[in-house]
Amino acid sequence: MDTQLQKVYDQVLRRNPGEVEFHQAVKEVFDSLGPVLRKRPEYVEGAVLSRICEPERQIIFRVPWVDDAGRVRINRGFRVEYSSVLGPYKGGLRFHPSVYLGIIKFLGFEQIFKNSLTGMPIGGAKGGADFDPHSASEAEVMRFCQSFMTELYRHLGEHTDVPAGDIGVGGREIGYLFGQYKRITNRHESGVLTGKGLTWGGSLVRTEATGYGVVYFVNEMMQEIGRSLEGARVAVSGSGNVAIYAIEKAQQLGATVVACSDSSGYVVDERGIDVELLKHVKEVERERIRCYADRRDSAVFSDRGSIWQVPVEVALPCATQNELREEDARALVANRVAVVAEGANMPCTPAATAVLQEAGVNFAPGKASNAGGVATSALEMQQNAARDSWGFAETDAKLQEIMHDIHDRCAGTAEEYGQPGNYILGANIAGFTKVADAVIAMGVV
């Protein structure tokens, strides 16, 4: 790493002890920025990097609620408002037992550059709680969301901070959160959250957007190397919002998705995943992935080894951070994978990414390939601001255009910096320079 960058990185390590995912996310971006600092000394003089690494505001709060047995339960809630230079703070909420400040900060940091890449006027943020919706009843989830919003509402607003979903926060949770916001403030302020229901300010395509967007991005990458998704074998990890719609779109474009997973294991289905059955098992029944295999003759469940041992041309990690490790990358390379695109945030470990890049695999980092979700959130905000709602085809066309533009921005920047095909470098530099220029323009604030 460049010495200027190393100094700032050392400061990040000192200031944020133990936050390993945050350190990893910062290092991944910094590893790309050496050539930029050589070209633009004003970024060093203006301490732009130190400023970007320090969130504008970090909110940590108690979330008290009462479970079905009448016991008082306490969780910890977070909202890290990272950067508002490009627009209001924007980014999802994650409810998962693994959540702590380091996870929220890594996600918020990534979100700054992702949101910049979308070309939309949105800043970066992330929030959540160490709450596990899987082990809570419907009524408990509602009470938890109400308590969470009872604290968070004072920090939100359509021009201030606009959360959405992430792991463990889907349409159901956004409904409870919006209901409580509306009740406390006495305002039907639809632009305050995205991922809303379609009858109360939600946007068509937002549900599908992240998964569809990943596949639109992969389509662009494959065109670049003279290949196509038609007839390709694909593996998609996870079976949540991002995974389901990545599977749906990949199959619509002629691929066969032969495997998907959850935290309990994975299924291989050589006939191609039946996405309607998968939706039913995961979204209606809220069941484990094994139930998919129980209902489908062609599918086999496994809780040993890894989904990445299944031979595929295209691998889409869409579950969680650091789920695809060095040995997984080696297995994918041995099976001649051509494209790996991150649907989740930071799903590939640095060692895995290095293996893939050294083997010449076309690799897309999440901040580029999964940006379709937040970009469509920004489209939802546009519709809310105009008190309008657009049709599915129109919104989907905008999403496709946005993914095309992000692809070209990353590919073009990589080429400009002498590393054609390096989407990591392209995404980091293109995402960063737009934010850095805005930071400089606004003075020391």
Rule CB under 6 A: which residues touch ligand 2IT? 90-92, 114, 164, 166, 194, 345, 373-374, 377
CB 122: neighbour CB atoms within 10 A? Answer: 26
> Residue 79 has which token pair?
């909202």
Task: By CB under 6 A, tell whether 264 contacts ligand NDP.
Answer: yes
197-216 footprint of ligand NDP as x/- string (CB under 6 A): -------------x------
User: In the complex with ligand 2IT, which residue's Cβ is closer, 129 or 374?
Assistant: 374
Least distance from ligand NDP to the Cβ atom of residue 24, Å: 14
Residue 202's H or E segment, with its range, is none
Enter the DSSP assignment of 324. B
DSSP class of residue 130 equals S
Which partner in ligand NDP, ligand 2IT, none is near 168 (CB below 5 to 8 A by kind)?
Answer: ligand NDP
Closest CA to 147 of 91, 70, 73, 57: 73
* Structure tokens, 248: 């749906």
Tokens of 408: 């070209």
- Of 265, 303, 259, 250, the residue nearest 278 (C-alpha): 259
**Contact between 248 and ligand NDP per CB under 6 A:** no
Q: What are phi and psi of 89, to 5 degrees?
A: -55, 135
The residue number whose beta carbon is nearest to ligand 2IT equals 92
Shortest distance, CB of residue 345 to ligand NDP, whole angstroms?
4
Q: How far is CA 334 from CA 32, 61, 309, 312, 327, in A?
A: 27, 47, 9, 10, 10
The residue from 90, 105, 114, 126 that is catalytic is: 126
Q: What angle do the packed helices 350-358 and 20-39 form, to 10 degrees?
A: 50
Output the smallest distance, CB 263 to ligand NDP, in A. 3
Q: Is residue 127 near ligand NDP by the rule CB under 6 A?
A: no
Select 8 or 428, whichever has its Cβ closest to ligand NDP: 428
CB 396 within 8 A of CB 212: yes
- Residue whose CB is less far from ligand 2IT, 52 or 374: 374
**Contact with ligand NDP (CB under 6 A): which of 203, 219, 251, 320?**
320
Residue 99, C-beta contacts closer than 8 angstroms, at least 6 positions apart: 76, 78, 128, 129, 130, 131
Q: Does 111 bind ligand NDP (CB under 6 A)?
A: no
Q: What radius of gyration, in Å, describes the C-alpha atoms of the chain?
A: 21
Decide: 380 and 203 in contact? Cβ < 8 Å. yes
Residue nearest to ligand NDP according to CB distances in the complex: 240
What DSSP character marks residue 200? G
Phi, psi torsion values for 401, nearest 5 degrees: -65, -40
In angstroms, what is the minimal distance from the CB of 320 to ligand NDP?
4
Supply the minimum distance, in Å, between the C-beta of residue 242 and ligand NDP. Answer: 4
The one of ligand NDP, ligand 2IT, none whose footprint includes residue 238, by CB under 5 to 8 A per kind, is ligand NDP
- Binding ligand NDP by CB under 6 A: which of 12, 53, 112, 167? 167
User: Does the annotation mark 7 as catalytic?
Assistant: no
Hunting for tokens 């692809």 — which residue is that? 407
Q: Which does 91 bind (CB under 5 to 8 A by kind): ligand 2IT, ligand NDP, none?
A: ligand 2IT
Residue 257 host element (H or E): strand 256-262
Look at the block and give the residue holding tokens 């694909």.
234
* Closest CB to ligand 2IT among residues 218, 258: 218
Single residue of 53, 85, 234, 242 touching ligand NDP by CB under 6 A: 242
**Considering the rule CB under 6 A, would residue 345 count as an interface residue with ligand NDP?**
yes
Please, which residue, 91 or 201, has the CB nearer to ligand 2IT? 91
Q: Which residues are catalytic?
A: 126
> Contact residues for ligand NDP (CB under 6 A)?
165-168, 170, 210, 238-243, 262-264, 318-320, 323, 343-345, 370, 373
